C-alpha cells in the first residue's frame, strides 16, 4: 500500500507550516564577501545591491523541507570586520551549521579561511556542519581563487564546498539546503545528539493541530522536482 | 491572488494580537485547505459498483462476461458487494466461511481483462462482503484505507443484517462505499429505514481524529440488498404491469421511492432511473418469477444510490444472465470527478505562500534604527565626565525590547567607566528614545587606563529581543594623569607625566625595565607641590579638607600638575586640599601598600607595631608617609586658626592612605558595624603618628 506519507486527511502529521526541527546557522567570513547578501538571497530570493556592512549580527529565518521534514532555519549573519571578531565569536556557540564564506575575486578573503575555520572548530561542537562557500561566482572575469584549490582546501579540512552567487542566486539555495540535509542525516544516524546542550537543533514535536486538512502528497515532498535531491 | 491576500491579513492580524508566527502559520494552513480548488483539477474516473445477493450459493459461475466485465472500457475502481454469501450456522456463529475466498477469486477472475487490478480492501460481516479493487497504476494515489462493519440483525446487533464499509482517499477526494443487507419482509420497511440510520450512526472510522462517519466523505456509494418491496399490489398485477413494461407505474409502489420521497431514509442520496426488471425473486437457475408456495411478488430489492460528486451515472442495470441465486446481480457505472492535485499549481502556490510567510516572518522581526554606530567621547582625563546620546527608534512593525547585553566572560554589559541610561526598554513601533551614555574616569578606572591595561574603547552589544544584535562602538582618548599613577612611577619621572615618552610611562606603570629609569625624587613631585601649596597658602584656612572644591578648579590643578611643575597652582586652597586627597586616593598603590593593609588594621592599637609596618614598606612610600605626617603635624600647630583636630585629620587621611585592594573588596560584603570598626582602626593608625614622638 502506498500509504507511506503521514498527515493528509487522516490527521496525525502536520500541515506544511508545522516544522519538526529548528536548526541554528551562523554565517562567517571576511568583511565584504557577501554574507548578508547570501542570507538575503536565501530568505527573500532577491539580491540586495549596495548592502551596508553588517555592524552586529543580523537574524533571518526560513522554513525549508529536507527529506520530507520541515525545518526552520534560524540564521545568524555576523559582522565580518576584524575589530568585531572578539564579539562575534560568542555567536558560534550552539550552531548546527556554519556557512564559511570567501570572495572568489579577493584572495585575501580566501587566505583568511584557516583563521575562520579555527574559530569555527574551536567554538562549535564537533558535529557542526561547516560549509565552505566561494561567493561572487558571477564575477568569473575577476576570479582570484580557482575552484580546484578551494575544493582541495575543503577536502583537506573535511568541509562541504560550493561556489555560489548571491547576485544571481546560483547555488545559494543548494548551500543552505545541503547543510540542513547533512545535519538531518547526522540526526538520523545518531551522530548528532539532540539532547546535547549545544547541538544547535531543537526538536519540535508535531502538534497535529493543523494536520489533516492539507493535501499530503505534495506537502510530503514526493511531488515533481523535489524528490530527487533527497537520498535518505 | 485572493489566497495570498487572505493569508496575509490573517498573519498580520495574528501578529497584531501577539500570536507567534508559528500560530499564524498554522492558521494559514487551514485557510489553504479551504482554497483547495486553486490547486486541484477535477478529473473523471470510472467506478463500477456491483451488488448481488447470492443466496448462499457457491461461486460456481464466471462473473466477468455477464457482470463485472460486460462493458468495453475497463473501470478504474470496482466496489463489489455480496449479501447472503453463506447462510450456514457456522458462518452466523463464528463468522467463518470458505465462501469468502471462493467469491473473492471469482471476482478477481471476473475483473475486466483489459486492465490489471489490485485489491485495496476486503471486508466481510457474516454474509455481507465488500471488495474494492483499483487499477494497479492508480494504487499509489490511494491513502488512508479503512474498513468497518455494523450489525443490525438479531438483537439489533447481530451480523446477519447490517452493513460493511470501506473508505479511502483517492487523490484528494474521500470516498466511502457501503454494502448493506437491510431487514427483510414486505411490511418491515420502517425496520429497513431504522437499519439505514443505525448504519449511519454506528459506522465510525475511529482511527481518524476526529473520527470519520459515512457522511464525512466527498463521495458515498451505498448499495446492497436494501430489501424494499412493492406495496399494495398482488403478484399477478405486478407481473402484468412488468410484461407491459410499466416500470414507471410500478415504481410508484416502490417502498424505497416512497420512503425516500418522504425523507425518511437516504436523505441527500440519488438513484438512477430504473429501466431493468426487478432483481427479485426468481426460481434459481431460471429467469422465471418465484413459483414457490409463497409466490412472492417481484421487487427491486437490489439498489445502488450515491451522494456527493460531481459524478455522472453511465449505467444502472441488472445482469439476468447470472441465474444461480434468487436475486439477479445489479451494477451501476459512474464517471466520478476526483480532485487531483496539480503538482505544478500546488507547488507554485505552496512555495509562494511559504515565501510570503517567510518574508512576513522576517518583516515582523524587531527592527530599530540608531542614529550612529560609533560614539566618540573625545579626550578625557581623570575625573572627567562626558555624556553622549544614542537615539534608538523602533522602525519595525512590532514592539521591541532592546537591551545592552553582556558579552561572554564579561561581568557587565559595559565597562566600569561607562554608564548607560536606560540600558533596556520596550519601544512601541514608531517610538524613539535617547539613551544616555556617560563616560566617567573614576579612581578605579584611572589607574588601569594609566597602566594601559584598559582603554577608552568598547563594543557594546545592543540586543533586540527575538531579533538581531547591533554593535555600538564607544571610544575616547584618555589623557594620562599623575592621578592614578603609582608613587614608584612618579618618583622616577623627572618631567610632568604628559612630557615623558609613552614607552617610559607604560613601563613605569607596569613596573617594567625599572633599572632604565632611576629614581629622581624622594616623593612624587606632584605631591610635594600640592602639600607645598597648602603649606604656603592654606595653613590658617578653616574647614580645610572639609569643604569641597570646585570641579573646574580641580581640572585646572590636574592639568597643571600633569604638564608643568609650577610654583603656584591656581584655584582655592579648598580645591587644592581636595586634589591632594584625590591624589592619594587615586594612587595605584596606596601609601600603606595593599599587602600591609590587614596587618596595619590589626596593629592599629599598638604604636610600636604601626611603626614597625612603616619601617617595612617601600622607601618611597615611607617617605610619602612621613612627609604627610609632618605636614599634618605642622597643620595642627596652627589649630588655633584652622581649627583642625588630630582625630579629624587622622580620619580623613587614614581613609585615603590605608586602602583595601579592589579585588579584596569585591569578595566580601561588609556590615555597617564592620565598616565603622575599620574606619576607627584606620584613624587610630594615623593618630599614633600625630600624637607620639618618634624618630624617622
Banded model confidence at residue A232, pLDDT cuts 50, 70, 90: very low
Please name the member of A15, A57, A83 whose beta carbon is closest to the beta carbon of B469.
A57
Cell of B560: 597643571
How much is the pLDDT for B167?
96
Q: Using CA atoms, how far apart are residues B387 and B376, in angstroms rounded to an integer?
A: 10
Bond into A210 cis (ω within 30): no
Asked if residue B337 lies in contact with residue B43, where contact means CB atoms within 8 angstroms, the answer is yes
> Is A9 within a domain?
no
Residues of A in contact with B365 (CB under 8 A): 59, 61
Helical H segments across B510-618, by residue range: 525-537, 551-563, 573-586, 597-602, 607-616
Predicted complex: ipTM over 0.85: no
- How much is the average pLDDT of B614-623? 94
CATH of the domain at A79: 3.40.50.300
Q: What average pLDDT score do residues B479-504 get?
A: 91
Q: Is the pLDDT of residue B219 over 60?
A: yes
- pLDDT per position as a tens digit, A95-129: 999 999 999 999 999 999 999 999 999 999 888 99
Q: Which three cell numbers stand for residue B411?
A: 561581568
Residue B210 pairs in a beta bridge with none
User: Using one digit for the tens of pLDDT, what is the confidence trace for B239-283?
Assistant: 888 888 888 888 999 999 999 999 999 999 999 999 999 999 899
Q: What is the mean pLDDT of chain A?
A: 80
| Residue B141 DSSP label | G
Q: Is residue A221 part of a domain?
A: no
**Long-range contact list for A138-144, CB < 8 A, 24+ apart?**
A138/A165, A138/A167, A138/A168, A138/A170, A139/A104, A139/A105, A142/A105, A143/A104, A143/A105, A144/A104, A144/A105, A144/A106, A144/A107, A144/A110
Contact B518, B493 (CB under 8 A): no
**Predicted confidence band of residue A219 (pLDDT cuts 50, 70, 90):** very low
CA B495 remoteness from chain centre: 64
Within 10 angstroms of residue B299's Cβ, the number of other Cβ atoms is 24
Instruction: Map chain A to HEC letters.
Output: CCCCCCCHHHCCCCCCCCCCEEEEEEEECCCCCCHHHHHHHHHHCCCCCCCCCCCEEEEEEEEEEECCEEEEEEEEEECCCHHHHHHHHHHCCCCCEEEEEEECCCHHHHHCHHHHHHHHHHHCCCCCEEEEEEECCCCHHHCCCCHHHHHHHHHHCCCEEEECCCCCCCCHHHHHHHHHHHHHHHHHCCCCCCCCCCCCEEECCCCCCCCCCCCHHHHCCCCHHHCCCCCC
Per the domain annotation, does A229 fall within a domain?
no
Task: Convert the pLDDT of each residue in A175-195 to its tens digit.
Answer: 999 999 999 999 888 877 777
Helix (H, G, I), strand (E, B) or coil at B340: strand
Cα–Cα distance, A179 to A95 (Å, whole number): 12
Q: How far is A214 from chain B (nearest CA, A)?
A: 5
At residue A97, the pLDDT reads 95
Contacts of A83 in chain B (CB under 8 A): 459, 473
B510-550 residue pLDDT tens: 888 888 899 999 999 999 999 999 999 989 988 899 888 88
The C-alpha atoms of residue B555 and residue B549 are separated, in whole angstroms, by 11
State the average pLDDT over residues A53-63.
89
Our separate counts of H helices and E strands in chain B read: 22, 23
Look at residue B232 and tell me whether its pLDDT is greater than 60: yes
- Which domain range does residue A85 map to? 15-204
The pLDDT of residue B155: 67
Contact B289, B283 (CB under 8 A): yes
Kindly state whether B408 is in contact with chain A, defined as any CB-CB distance less than 8 angstroms: yes
Domains (ranges, CATH) in chain B? Answer: 1-39+349-364 (no CATH), 40-341 (3.60.10.10), 368-478 (2.60.40.10), 590-696 (1.10.555.10)
How confident is the model at residue B24, as a pLDDT?
Answer: 54
Please judge whether B209 and A218 are an interchain contact, meaning their C-beta atoms are less than 8 angstroms apart: no
Q: Is residue A93 part of a domain?
A: yes
| Residue B408 distance to chain A (closest CA, Å) | 6
Contacts of A87 in chain B (CB under 8 A): 407, 459, 461, 471
Query: Residue B119: what pLDDT?
Result: 94
Of chain B, the percentage scoring pLDDT greater than 70 comes to: 94
* A56 has a pLDDT exceeding 80: yes
A19 occurs within a structural domain: yes
pLDDT band (50, 70, 90) for residue A5: very low
Residue A230 within a domain: no
Q: How many domains does chain A have?
A: 1
Q: Specify the higher pLDDT residue, B518 or B11.
A: B518
Q: What is the pLDDT of residues B414-472, one digit of tens each?
A: 888 999 999 999 999 999 999 999 999 988 888 888 888 889 999 999 999 888 899 99
Locate cell 542570507: which residue? Answer: A39
What per-residue confidence (pLDDT) applies to A15? 46
For residue A131, is it within any domain? yes
Q: Is B209 on the interface with A (CB under 8 A)?
A: yes
Backbone phi, psi, residue B348, to 5° = -65, -45
CB pairs under 8 A between A and B: 135
Q: Does A213 touch chain B (CB under 8 A)?
A: yes
Flag if A43 and B461 touch (Cβ within 8 Å): no
Query: Which of A 128-157 lie inside 8 A of B, CB atoms?
Result: none
**What per-residue confidence (pLDDT) applies to A1?**
33
- Classify residue A217: in a domain, yes or no: no
Grid cell listed for B636: 595642627
3-state secondary structure of B618: coil
A210–B30 C-beta distance less than 8 A = yes
The predicted model gives B108-122 an average pLDDT of 93
Question: For B144, which of A8, A79, A90 is closest by C-beta distance?
Answer: A8
Q: Do B359 and A44 touch (CB under 8 A)?
A: yes
Q: Is the pLDDT of residue B80 over 80?
A: yes
Taking the CA of residue B172 and the nearest CA in chain A, the distance in Å comes to 7
- Whether B136 and chain A come into contact, CB under 8 Å, resolves to no
Residue of A nearest to B28 (CA): A17
Amino acid at each position: 500500500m502506498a500509504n507511506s506519507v503521514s498527515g493528509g486527511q487522516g490527521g496525525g502529521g502536520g500541515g506544511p507550516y508545522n516544522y519538526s526541527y529548528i536548526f541554528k546557522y551562523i554565517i562567517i567570513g571576511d568583511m565584504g564577501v557577501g554574507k548578508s547578501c547570501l542570507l538575503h538571497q536565501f530568505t527573500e530570493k532577491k539580491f540586495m545591491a549596495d548592502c551596508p556592512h553588517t555592524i552586529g549580527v543580523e537574524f533571518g529565518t526560513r522554513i525549508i523541507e529536507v527529506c520530507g521534514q520541515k525545518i526552520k532555519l534560524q540564521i545568524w549573519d555576523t559582522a565580518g570586520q576584524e575589530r568585531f571578531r572578539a564579539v562575534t565569536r560568542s555567536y558560534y556557540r550552539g550552531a548546527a551549521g556554519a556557512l564559511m564564506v570567501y570572495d572568489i575575486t579577493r584572495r585575501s578573503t580566501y587566505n583568511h579561511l584557516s583563521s575562520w575555520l579555527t574559530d569555527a572548530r574551536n567554538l562549535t561542537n564537533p558535529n557542526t556542519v561547516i560549509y565552505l562557500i566561494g561567493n561572487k561566482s558571477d564575477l568569473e572575469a575577476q576570479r582570484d581563487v580557482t575552484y580546484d584549490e578551494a575544493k582541495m582546501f575543503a577536502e583537506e579540512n573535511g568541509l562541504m564546498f560550493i561556489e555560489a552567487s548571491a547576485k544571481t542566486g546560483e547555488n545559494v539555495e543548494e548551500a543552505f539546503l545541503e547543510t540542513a540535509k547533512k545535519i538531518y542525516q547526522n540526526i538520523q544516524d545518531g551522530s548528532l545528539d539532540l539532547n546535547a546542550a549545544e547541538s544547535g537543533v531543537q526538536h519540535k514535536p508535531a502538534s497535529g493541530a493543523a494536520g489533516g486538512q492539507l493535501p499530503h502528497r505534495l506537502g510530503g515532498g514526493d511531488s515533481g522536482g523535489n524528490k530527487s535531491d533527497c537520498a535518505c | 491572488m485572493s489566497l495570498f491576500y487572505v493569508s496575509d491579513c490573517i498573519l498580520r492580524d495574528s501578529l497584531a494580537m501577539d500570536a507567534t508566527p508559528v500560530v499564524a502559520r498554522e492558521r494559514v494552513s487551514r485557510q489553504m485547505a479551504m482554497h483547495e480548488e486553486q490547486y486541484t483539477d477535477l478529473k473523471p474516473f470510472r467506478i463500477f459498483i456491483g451488488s448481488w445477493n447470492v443466496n448462499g450459493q457457491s461461486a460456481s459461475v464466471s462473473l466477468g462476461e455477464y457482470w463485472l466485465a460486460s462493458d468495453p472500457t475497463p473501470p478504474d475502481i470496482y466496489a463489489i458487494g455480496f449479501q447472503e454469501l453463506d447462510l450456514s450456522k457456522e458462518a452466523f456463529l463464528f463468522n467463518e466461511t470458505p465462501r469468502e475466498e471462493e467469491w473473492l477469486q471469482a471476482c478477481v477472475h471476473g475483473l475486466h481483462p483489459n486492465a490489471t487490478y489490485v485489491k485495496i480492501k476486503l471486508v466481510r460481516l457474516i454474509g455481507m462482503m465488500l471488495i474494492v479493487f483499483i487499477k494497479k497504476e492508480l494504487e499509489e494515489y490511494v491513502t488512508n484505507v479503512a474498513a468497518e462493519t455494523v450489525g443490525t440483525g438479531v438483537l439489533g446487533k447481530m451480523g446477519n443484517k447490517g452493513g460493511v464499509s470501506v473508505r479511502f482517499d483517492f487523490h484528494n477526494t474521500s470516498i466511502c462505499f457501503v454494502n448493506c443487507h437491510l431487514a427483510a419482509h414486505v411490511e418491515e420497511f420502517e425496520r429497513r429505514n431504522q437499519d439505514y440510520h443505525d448504519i449511519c450512526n454506528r459506522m465510525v472510522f475511529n482511527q481518524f481524529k476526529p473520527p470519520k462517519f459515512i457522511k464525512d466523505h466527498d463521495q458515498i456509494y451505498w448499495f446492497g440488498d436494501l430489501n424494499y418491496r412493492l406495496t399494495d399490489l398482488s403478484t399477478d398485477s405486478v407481473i402484468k404491469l412488468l410484461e407491459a413494461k410499466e416500470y414507471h407505474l410500478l415504481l410508484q409502489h416502490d417502498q424505497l421511492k416512497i420512503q425516500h420521497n418522504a425523507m425518511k431514509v437516504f436523505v441527500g442520496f440519488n438513484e438512477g432511473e430504473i429501466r431493468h426488471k426487478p432483481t427479485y425473486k426468481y426460481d434459481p437457475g431460471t429467469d422465471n418469477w418465484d413459483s414457490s408456495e409463497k409466490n412472492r411478488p417481484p421487487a427491486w430489492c437490489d439498489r445502488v444510490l450515491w451522494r456527493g460528486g460531481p459524478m455522472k451515472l453511465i449505467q444502472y442495470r441488472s445482469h439476468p444472465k447470472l441465474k444461480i441465486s434468487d436475486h439477479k446481480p445489479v451494477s451501476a457505472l459512474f464517471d466520478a470527478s476526483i480532485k487531483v492535485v496539480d503538482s505544478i499549481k500546488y507547488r507554485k502556490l505552496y512555495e509562494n505562500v511559504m515565501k510570503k510567510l517567510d518574508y512576513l516572518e522576517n518583516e515582523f522581526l524587531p527592527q530599530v534604527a540608531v542614529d550612529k554606530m560609533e560614539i566618540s567621547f573625545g579626550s578625557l582625563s581623570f575625573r572627567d565626565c562626558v555624556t553622549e546620546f544614542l537615539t534608538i527608534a523602533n522602525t519595525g512593525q512590532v514592539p521591541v525590547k532592546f537591551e545592552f547585553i553582556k558579552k561572554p566572560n564579561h561581568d557587565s554589559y559595559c565597562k566600569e567607566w561607562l554608564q548607560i541610561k536606560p540600558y533596556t526598554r520596550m519601544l512601541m513601533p514608531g517610538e524613539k528614545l535617547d539613551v544616555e551614555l556617560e563616560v566617567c574616569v573614576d579612581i578605579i578606572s584611572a589607574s588601569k587606563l594609566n597602566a594601559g591595561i584598559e582603554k577608552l574603547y568598547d563594543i557594546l552589544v545592543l540586543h533586540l529581543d527575538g531579533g538581531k544584535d547591533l554593535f555600538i562602538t564607544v571610544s575616547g582618548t584618555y589623557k594620562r594623569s599623575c592621578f592614578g599613577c603609582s608613587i614608584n612611577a612618579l618618583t622616577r619621572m623627572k618631567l610632568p607625566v604628559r612630557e615623558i615618552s609613552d614607552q617610559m610611562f607604560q613601563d613605569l606603570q607596569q613596573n617594567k625595565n625599572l633599572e632604565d629609569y632611576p629614581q629622581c625624587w624622594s616623593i612624587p613631585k606632584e605631591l610635594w607641590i600640592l602639600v607645598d601649596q597648602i603649606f604656603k597658602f592654606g595653613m590658617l584656612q578653616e574647614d580645610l579638607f572639609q569643604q569641597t572644591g570646585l570641579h573646574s578648579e580641580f581640572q585646572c590643578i590636574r592639568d597643571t600638575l600633569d604638564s608643568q611643575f609650577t610654583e603656584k597652582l591656581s584655584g582655592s586652597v579648598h580645591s587644592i586640599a581636595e586634589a591632594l586627597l584625590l591624589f592619594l586616593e587615586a594612587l595605584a598603590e596606596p601609601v600603606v601598600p595593599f599587602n600591609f593593609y590587614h596587618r596595619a588594621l590589626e596593629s592599629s592599637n599598638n604604636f610600636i607595631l604601626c611603626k614597625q609596618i612603616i619601617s617595612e614598606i617601600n622607601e618611597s612610600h615611607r617617605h610619602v608617609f612621613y612627609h604627610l605626617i609632618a605636614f599634618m603635624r605642622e597643620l595642627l600647630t596652627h589649630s588655633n586658626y584652622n581649627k583642625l583636630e588630630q582625630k579629624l585629620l587622622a580620619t580623613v587621611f587614614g581613609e585615603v592612605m590605608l586602602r583595601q585592594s579592589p579585588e579584596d573588596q569585591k569578595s566580601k560584603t561588609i556590615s555597617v558595624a564592620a565598616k565603622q570598626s575599620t574606619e576607627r582602626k584606620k584613624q587610630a593608625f594615623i593618630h599614633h603618628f600625630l600624637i607620639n614622638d618618634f624618630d624617622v
